[in-house]
């Protein structure tokens, strides 16, 4: 079965967490100068939490139109704010591997966004220790994630 035929969106686990957190923080999703698809995928996610997703470690449907994604599927962006500066590909692959392990989900698993968010909700508090990016406030990350889950009806008010 081809992915397009089954309407499955390929997503990195941390991309979902970032979007839900930003949604909870009332961040507006707008086109980014890099050209990635966060704004369009976020809209699809928020409009339909029953969409099917495949959790992958590697370039996903958000990365696909980004100017930093090479034809090989490797991201050539570097996180200069880290010491030492780290290739974004390496950082994200490690982060997504940690998240899937913590959530006890195998890479390439297919489920609905709702199912994934229910697993996330069951790991609060705790998951914020993994998904908070360097320089980001842990309490702000956790608060945004909780609010995003509430807005989507996953978490009780």
Spatial CA neighbour of 16 closest among 72, 89, 84, 92:
92
With 0-12 / 13-18 / 19 or more C-beta atoms within 10 angstroms meaning exposed / middle / buried, residue 51 is middle
Token readout for 86 is: 């780290």
155: left (phi over 0), alpha (psi -120 to 50) or beta: beta
pLDDT in the model for residue 1 = 37
**Residue 19 contacts by C-beta under 8 Å, 6 or more apart in sequence?**
29, 38, 41, 42, 45, 148
Local confidence band at 157 (pLDDT 50, 70, 90 cut-offs): confident
Local confidence band at 134 (pLDDT 50, 70, 90 cut-offs): confident
Q: Give this prediction's pTM.
A: 0.93
Instruction: Tally Cβ neighbours within 10 Å of residue 59.
Output: 20
Residue 133 CA to chain centroid, in angstroms? 12
**Residue 133 contacts by C-beta under 8 Å, 6 or more apart in sequence?**
141
What distance in Å separates the CA atoms of residue 115 and residue 145, rounded to the nearest whole number?
16
136 pLDDT higher than 90: no
62 pLDDT higher than 50: yes
Token readout for 97 is: 């591997």
Average pLDDT, the chain: 93
Local confidence band at 2 (pLDDT 50, 70, 90 cut-offs): very low
Q: What is the pLDDT of residues 113-125, one digit of tens each?
A: 999 999 999 999 9
Across the range 125-147, mean pLDDT stands at: 92
pLDDT in the model for residue 6 = 65
């Amino acid at each position: 079965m081809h992915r397009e035929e089954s309407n499955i969106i390929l997503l990195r686990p941390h991309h979902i967490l970032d979007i839900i957190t930003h949604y909870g923080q009332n961040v507006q999703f707008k086109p980014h100068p890099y050209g990635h698809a966060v704004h369009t995928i976020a809209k699809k996610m928020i409009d339909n939490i029953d969409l099917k997703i495949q959790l992958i470690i590697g370039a996903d449907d958000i990365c696909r139109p980004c100017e930093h994604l090479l034809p090989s599927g490797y991201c050539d962006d570097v996180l200069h704010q880290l010491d030492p500066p780290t290739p974004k590909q390496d950082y994200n692959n490690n982060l997504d591997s940690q998240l899937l392990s913590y959530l006890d989900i195998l890479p390439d698993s297919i489920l609905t966004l709702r199912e994934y968010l229910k697993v996330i909700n069951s790991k609060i508090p705790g998951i914020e220790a993994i998904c908070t990016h360097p320089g980001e406030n842990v309490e702000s990350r956790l608060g945004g994630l909780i609010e995003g889950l509430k807005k989507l009806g996953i978490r009780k008010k």
